[in-house]
Amino acid sequence: MSPAGLDYPGREKGLLADARRLWQSVAFRLALGYGVSVVLFMMVLLSVLYVQTIGVLQNRIDRQLVSASHRMLSHFEAYGPERLADDITENLTDGVNSDTEIYLLATASGKKIAGNIAVSRDLLRPTFGITEKQVLRDGRLSYSRYRTEQLADGSILVVGRDLRDQRDLEQLVGNALMAAAVVAVLLAVVGAVVFRGQLESRVGAIRRTAAQIEAGDLTQRIPVSGRDDEFARLSHDINMMLDRIEILMDGVRHVSNTIAHNLRTPLSRIRAKLEVASRPGTDPAQMAQATAFAIREIEELTVVFDKLLQIAEAESGARRQAFQPVSLNDIVADVVELYEPVAEEKHVELQVHMADEAVAPGDKDLLASAIANLVDNAIKYAGSPARVIVGTRATDETVSVVVQDNGPGIQAIERSKVGTRFFRLNRRVPGYGLGLASVTAIASLHHATLHLDDAGPGLIARIELPRMRST
């Protein structure tokens, strides 16, 4: 066997594998299905056109046969059989449609009087309408349409038309239809392959980017073409999603590292205190002091974890479905009442200014927690003499909770950072840097915005929420 013969089965398997992969492509099947649908529609349309064209020609022939038959019958009734035979001979020799006309005049016994077709049994039987059969015309078979009439004297008159031209036209139209069908199918297949290639090239970029991201490279992005098509918009949306995922992953890494760093110090202090207390001969008072210290540190860590859980819950949006109309004035009044003893202890003047009505959809407990964080920060950083103003404002579209202090404020360059977990402006003040991060997450959950503005001196913190519409 030749090397080519040995290689043929391998090539055949390769072609089958390529065809199988091509058929498994959704893009190819969709494009091919659309192309086949178009081809079928074209075939139906051309078939209707074909039938209508042939039908028009056939009706025209039938009308001519009926008209010629009636004319011959009129001549027979007016002039007799001899004149009818002369008319047939004249029609067959006048050169007008002589190559397609069919005439026969025969006696009842089957003797031919005039005409150009041979007498047969079928022709001697009168027809009710028009018949389409083969006849022997001028010594050759002719597929014809004819009409047979029995005259008053018993003789038979046949008037017909040779269908050779119509058959040629039918064959021409049929061949054209077949050629058009073959070309349409080839175009559908080629179009499907081209469409599949175009789609694969666009989808391939997305798949390659996804594979690189799966491998751990979150910086990869899908190339966006200059064309404003569906794939460009999809790529843009996916890139925005990837940007958000990268930010979230960076945030997770930052939070993980910060939690590990912030936990190490208090846990180390707790361990050191407990190790000292556990030594033999330790004074009971010292043991009690170490135990109290460990409890306080653990309580602070519990507060940190509670804040982190609250932030995670707010960012997940899980509590948004339970939103109800809440009065911000009532929440502010409750928070101010809670912090009045703290403000009095620290000699902070706490003022309240309420709008007439401030109602928004939300979670009362979460909004109270956010407002409490703002008030706590304001009291903590208030200047001297310390003054904190808490209130609500209302416009046609929004309602706001405003907390203003007269402290050092926050520089504009740092205002974008204060909502980050564990970010602290002044590390000499106790805290873990989760207060404003919690406020930011709660505001985002309520489709609200946290604004930080300079009060000169001091800071104005404002949570702006969409106003509850009355129905």
Summarize pLDDT for 239-264 with one digit per residue, the tens.
888 888 877 777 667 666 666 666 77
**Of 107, 95, 105, 149, the residue nearest 127 (C-alpha):** 149
Total tally of structural domains belonging to the chain? 3
Average pLDDT over residues 84-94: 84
The DSSP 8-state label assigned to residue 453 in this structure reads E
Among 226-240, 294-308, 360-374, 421-435, which is the least confidently predicted range?
A: 421-435
- Of 114, 148, 167, the domain-final residue: 167
User: Are 295 and 328 members of one domain?
Assistant: no
Residue 2 pLDDT grade (very low, low, confident, very high; cuts 50, 70, 90): very low
Residue 248 host element (H or E): helix 230-277
348-353 vs 386-394, strand pairing mode: parallel
Could you tell me if residue 89 is inside a domain? yes
Distance in Å from the first CA to the final CA of the chain: 89
User: Are 301 and 412 members of one domain?
Assistant: no
User: Are 334 and 426 members of one domain?
Assistant: yes
User: Are 327 and 287 members of one domain?
Assistant: no
Whole-model pTM: value is: 0.46
Angle value at C-alpha 363, between 362 and 366, nearest 5 degrees:
125
Does residue 87 register a pLDDT over 50? yes
- Of 253, 284, 313, the domain-final residue: 313
330: Cβ contacts below 8 Å, ≥ 6 apart: none
Residue 444 pLDDT grade (very low, low, confident, very high; cuts 50, 70, 90): confident
Residue 1 pLDDT grade (very low, low, confident, very high; cuts 50, 70, 90): very low
User: Are 293 and 331 members of one domain?
Assistant: no
- Of 313, 344, 369, the domain-final residue: 313
Q: pLDDT tens digits for 422-436? A: 555 554 555 566 667
**Residue ranges making up the domain that contains 260:** 230-313
Among 40-44, 62-66, 80-84, which is the least confidently predicted range?
A: 40-44
Selected residue with higher pLDDT from 19 and 210: 210
Could you tell me if residue 26 is inside a domain? no
Among 300-309, 362-371, 421-430, which is the least confidently predicted range?
A: 421-430
> For all residues of the chain together, what is the average pLDDT?
78
What per-residue confidence (pLDDT) applies to 470?
A: 56
What per-residue confidence (pLDDT) applies to 10?
A: 55
Could you tell me if residue 224 is inside a domain? no
**Of 82, 136, 146, 140, the residue nearest 114 (C-alpha):** 82
Here the CATH number for the domain that contains residue 378 is 3.30.565.10
Q: pLDDT tens digits for 260-297? A: 666 777 788 888 878 877 888 777 887 888 888 888 87
What per-residue confidence (pLDDT) applies to 239?
A: 85
Average pLDDT over residues 119-127: 80
Average pLDDT over residues 201-205: 77
Average pLDDT over residues 65-81: 85
Long-range contact pairs involving 312-321 (C-beta distance under 8 Å, separation at least 24): 314/366, 314/438, 314/441, 314/442, 314/444, 314/445, 315/441, 315/444, 315/445, 317/445, 319/363, 319/366, 319/445, 320/445
Is 331 within 8 Å of 364 (Cβ atoms)? yes
Does residue 15 register a pLDDT over 80? no
Helix ranges restricted to H, 141-216: 164-214
User: Are 271 and 349 members of one domain?
Assistant: no
User: Are 335 and 448 members of one domain?
Assistant: yes
Structure tokens at 204: 């391939």
d(CA 314, CA 463): 15
Structure-token match 């069908």, residue found = 181
User: Are 264 and 241 members of one domain?
Assistant: yes
Q: pLDDT tens digits for 448-469? A: 888 888 877 888 888 888 877 6
Is 65 within 8 Å of 159 (Cβ atoms)? yes
Could you tell me if residue 119 is inside a domain? yes
User: Are 348 and 303 members of one domain?
Assistant: no
Residue 4 pLDDT grade (very low, low, confident, very high; cuts 50, 70, 90): very low
Could you tell me if residue 212 is inside a domain? no
Q: pLDDT tens digits for 148-181? A: 888 888 888 898 888 887 778 778 877 887 887 7
d(CA 283, CA 278): 10
Does residue 126 register a pLDDT over 60? yes
Could you tell me if residue 222 is inside a domain? no
d(CA 181, CA 172): 14
User: Are 305 and 350 members of one domain?
Assistant: no
Is 394 within 8 Å of 382 (Cβ atoms)? no
Could you tell me if residue 137 is inside a domain? yes
279: Cβ contacts below 8 Å, ≥ 6 apart: none
What per-residue confidence (pLDDT) applies to 432?
A: 60
Could you tell me if residue 217 is inside a domain? no
User: Are 285 and 325 members of one domain?
Assistant: no
User: Are 328 and 450 members of one domain?
Assistant: yes
